[in-house]
Amino acid sequence: MAERSGRSRILASVLVGLGTFLLAVAILVPAYSLDRLKKTPLDLEVTSIAAGTGSVLDASALLEGRIQVDNDVPIVAQRYVIAEQPSDAEVVSMQAGQAVIRTDKQGDTGLLTASVDRVTVDRVSAMPVEPPVGTIQISLDAPAQEVSHTGLQYKWPFDAEQKSYPYFDLNIRKSQDINFVEETEINGMKVYHYSQVIEPTDMFQAVGDPTYRLELPAETFGLGGEEPVTMIRWYQNQRDIWVDPITGIVIKGQEQMYQYYARDKDQPDVTVLQATLPFTEATIESQISQAKDGQDQLALASRTVPLVAGILGAIALIAGIVIGIRGGRGDKGAVAGGPATPPAGSGQAGKDEWASSDQTEEFPTVQMDKGDFDERGFTEPPRQQ
């Protein structure tokens, strides 16, 4: 009995300890793991491609002193984003190489715009932080320029909200609000749709590039007269972005871009680039896959592991308590009832042995007559029958 109760106490202690540990895991894992998982990864590497058709100013013709705008041109916008230094537990630096290409021409003749953008952002909020100050480079012949970034660009924060966020436009180098439109679905995934409208903006003032201000003879632009005419390059856009609200990953993007030269922003004279460029289906599927991977990791840490650990911990804890209580009762019963086998030589033991014996000893019957006694007792030994 003592050996059994000892084993019960050990088993009860192990189960109670295991149950307590699992319950602690169920409580601590979400708080600890989610803080680590809800951060932009330091090995970030994202390629996105948008494609469409549009109207494009032929740059080679412009160099020859004539205006030529090609229509129904196939256009592709490529963007490649990677993480770089400085990056640490709190911030990640991103480098985004971007190019817009007309695919009906080869090599440099097909390149419409190109840039390298660098920005350091908070790994949770996705908002830019300084230092270092971000940079933008739009020409291989000129160094990158420091430009303070003040809004979202390549990723939304975790647990995105149905509200407006500041969004940084690379073309005009400033931020304005991008507004929440609706909750919808793309290929079965719930997404938040945000939209931003940029009114015509003077790109020469915004960027300072001399090509954004042209002074050419009026006849070059198809205008009457020989006097020089100064044209400013203007930019307007409607940007739509669909975001996974859980991970902040951009699932789909689309831009309806219009750049043109004009003497008056409200009266375009020469189209430079006009196109609607949405993400390709392959890019959307790739972004959805990344978002689902992120969602699965967050669900594992926030629901699956705590739930399983909590259930197993409760079972182990209850089992340990029950076994401990039963073992304790067994010990008390053994002490109160005394030893099961009485000590040798006790009267009770003799009675038990007699009662349990299957054989009985027969004693001879003795018959005594009256004459066998005298006043002092027996006169002669009794006679055996």
What DSSP line would sit under 290-343, residue for residue?
Answer: HHHHHHHHHHIIIIIHHHHHHHHHHHHHHHHHHHHHHHHHHHHHHHHH--SSPP
**Calpha distance 333→2 (Å, rounded):** 11
Q: Domain check: are 102 and 222 in the same one?
A: yes
Residue 247 in any domain: the answer is: yes
Predicted pLDDT of residue 376: 43
Number of domains in the chain: 2
Q: Is the pLDDT of residue 119 over 50?
A: yes
| pLDDT per residue as tens digits for the range 56-70 | 998 888 777 788 899
Q: Domain check: are 47 and 123 in the same one?
A: yes
Instruction: Judge contact between 190 and 245, C-beta under 8 A.
Output: yes
Rg from Cα positions in the chain: 46
Q: Domain check: are 116 and 57 in the same one?
A: yes
Instruction: Classify residue 149 as exposed, middle or buried by CB count within 10 Å of its CB (0-12, 13-18, 19+).
Output: buried
User: Quick one: average pLDDT of 239-250?
Assistant: 96
Query: Which one has a higher pLDDT value, 114 or 376?
Result: 114
User: Quick one: average pLDDT of 187-210?
Assistant: 94
Predicted pLDDT of residue 307: 62
Predicted pLDDT of residue 361: 46
Instruction: Judge contact between 73 and 274, C-beta under 8 A.
Output: no
Residue 155 in any domain: the answer is: yes
Q: Domain check: are 30 and 51 in the same one?
A: no
User: Quick one: average pLDDT of 73-93?
Assistant: 95
Residue 139 in any domain: the answer is: yes
- Supply 284's token pair: 């959307």
| pLDDT per residue as tens digits for the range 252-310 | 999 999 999 999 999 999 999 999 999 999 999 999 999 999 888 777 755 565 666 56
Residue 170 in any domain: the answer is: yes
Q: Domain check: are 309 and 230 in the same one?
A: no
Query: Which one has a higher pLDDT value, 13 or 370?
Result: 13
Predicted pLDDT of residue 35: 64
| pLDDT per residue as tens digits for the range 18-57 | 667 656 665 655 566 556 678 888 989 999 999 999 999 9
Q: Where are the alpha helices (DSSP H) in the chain?
A: 2-37, 59-63, 203-207, 281-299, 305-337, 347-356
**Nearest CA among 228, 315, 230 for reference residue 270:** 230
C-alpha distances out from residue 33 to 21, 53, 141, 290, Å? 17, 45, 46, 19
- Supply 118's token pair: 């660098």
Q: Domain check: are 30 and 104 in the same one?
A: no
Summary mean pLDDT of the chain? 81
Residue 9 in any domain: the answer is: yes
Residue 363 in any domain: the answer is: no
Q: Domain range spanning residue 318? A: 1-37+305-338
Q: Domain check: are 15 and 118 in the same one?
A: no
Q: Domain check: are 92 and 51 in the same one?
A: yes
Q: Domain check: are 262 and 313 in the same one?
A: no
Q: Domain check: are 328 and 219 in the same one?
A: no
Query: Which one has a higher pLDDT value, 240 or 110?
Result: 240
Question: DSSP class of residue 95?
Answer: E
Q: Domain check: are 55 and 186 in the same one?
A: yes
Tell me the percentage of the chain whose pLDDT exceeds 90: 51
Q: Is the pLDDT of residue 357 over 80?
A: no
pLDDT tier for residue 130 given thresholds of 50, 70 and 90:
very high
Residue 352 in any domain: the answer is: no
Q: Domain check: are 129 and 239 in the same one?
A: yes
Q: Is the pLDDT of residue 169 over 60?
A: yes
pLDDT tier for residue 332 given thresholds of 50, 70 and 90:
low
Instruction: Classify residue 233 as exposed, middle or buried by CB count within 10 Å of its CB (0-12, 13-18, 19+).
Output: buried
| pLDDT per residue as tens digits for the range 87-106 | 999 999 999 999 999 999 88
Query: Which one has a higher pLDDT value, 215 or 34?
Result: 215
Question: Pairing state of beta strands 250-262 and 228-243?
Answer: antiparallel
Residue 294 in any domain: the answer is: no
